[in-house]
Amino acid sequence: MEQIQKLIAANALFVVNHSGGKDSQAMMIELLKIVPVMQLVVVHATLGEAEWAGALEHAQAQAANAGVVFIVAEAVKSFTGMVESRFATRPEVPSFPSASHRQCTSDLKRGPIDREIRRYAKLNGFSKIVNCMGLRAQESHSRAKLTTFKTNERNSIAGREWFDWLPIHDMKIDQVFALIKAAGQAPHWAYAAGNQRLSCVFCIMASSHDLANGAKHNPALLAKYVALEEKTGYTMHVSRKPLLELVAAAGTIAAEAGAETEPCDLV
């Protein structure tokens, strides 16, 4: 892609949004083929207990093995803290994020990541930023329609150009796993444990299959989310079904939710 080649030549900073998931991992393998290591930085937005154990370390290890700087972006609030605070201030509206008001993505991931990118770029003299995300067309109809390269007007200010790029948008899921294997790497352990995607353990948009798998491996976190549903009177999942019901029904409705869910735009 000509624009990318020009940005590499112009010493742009390429930011790898790395959730610890397979798509981030494959994207980084691809980026390392064309972008000099000194122009790469890996950013992981940590959600603490809400994310799968080892997700941060998985992203960190890939960065370390490639000699790329690794940054953790951390929000002031936790997922459950965000829900608690919303319930405390506005009990009349749903306490959990929804598909249309996804403040978990904006407040816990996007905001902290943008802040860290700005800080790193300023500190290291980068005036051009290419923010790379591992979204793929195969994941959903809406993701298939996304523009793969565009100027981010909101983050472009005087003296700083910011672009958003989806380097593996065309890649199919079997190619993702094949690429990781060919690079001599393994994906995060949650895939081998049965997960289809790696997002928050109990993502508001997860398939019932992944919710059930999350419950199996994270019973203490399940209890915390269930208690929060009971306390607030609202359900966590966008289906508006109680978490326990979704987990229990996973065997029969797994196919219903799996194909079109979009946990985060930072996978």
Site stretch for ligand SF4 (CB under 6 A), options 55-63, 116-124, 196-204, 223-231? 196-204
Q: Which residue has the tokens 């593996």?
A: 168
Residue 109 interacting with ligand SF4 (CB under 6 A): yes
Nearest to 211 by CA among 166, 177, 261, 136: 261
Decide: is 209 part of the binding site for ligand SF4 (CB under 6 A): no
Q: By the 8 A CB rule, do 117 and 217 touch?
A: no
Q: How far apart are CA 194 and CA 213, in angstroms?
A: 7
Q: Of 7, 108, 133, 250, which lies in the binding site for ligand SF4, with binding defined by CB under 6 A?
A: 108
CB of 75 to ligand SF4, least distance (A): 10
Q: Least distance in Å: CB of 43 to ligand SF4?
A: 15
Closer CB to ligand SF4, residue 97 or residue 134?
97
208 binds ligand SF4 (CB under 6 A): no
State yes or no: residue 198 binds ligand SF4 (CB under 6 A): no
Interacting residues of 189 by C-beta distance below 8 A, sequence separation 6+: 54
Q: Which of 59, 84, 20, 11 has the alpha carbon at shortest distance from 264?
A: 20
211 forms part of the interface with ligand SF4 (CB under 6 A): no
204 binds ligand SF4 (CB under 6 A): yes
CB of 3 to ligand SF4, least distance (A): 29
From 33-41, 168-176, 197-205, 208-216, span contacting ligand SF4 (CB under 6 A): 197-205
Does 263 participate in binding ligand SF4 (rule CB under 6 A)?
Answer: yes
Residue 213 within binding range of ligand SF4, rule CB under 6 A: no
**How far is residue 101's CA from residue 78's CA, in Å, rounded to a whole number?**
17
Minimum distance of ligand SF4 from residue 25's CB (angstroms):
16
Name which of 13 and 205 has its Cβ closer to ligand SF4: 205
Footprint of ligand SF4 on this chain (CB under 6 A)?
97, 102, 104-105, 108-109, 199-200, 203-205, 263-264
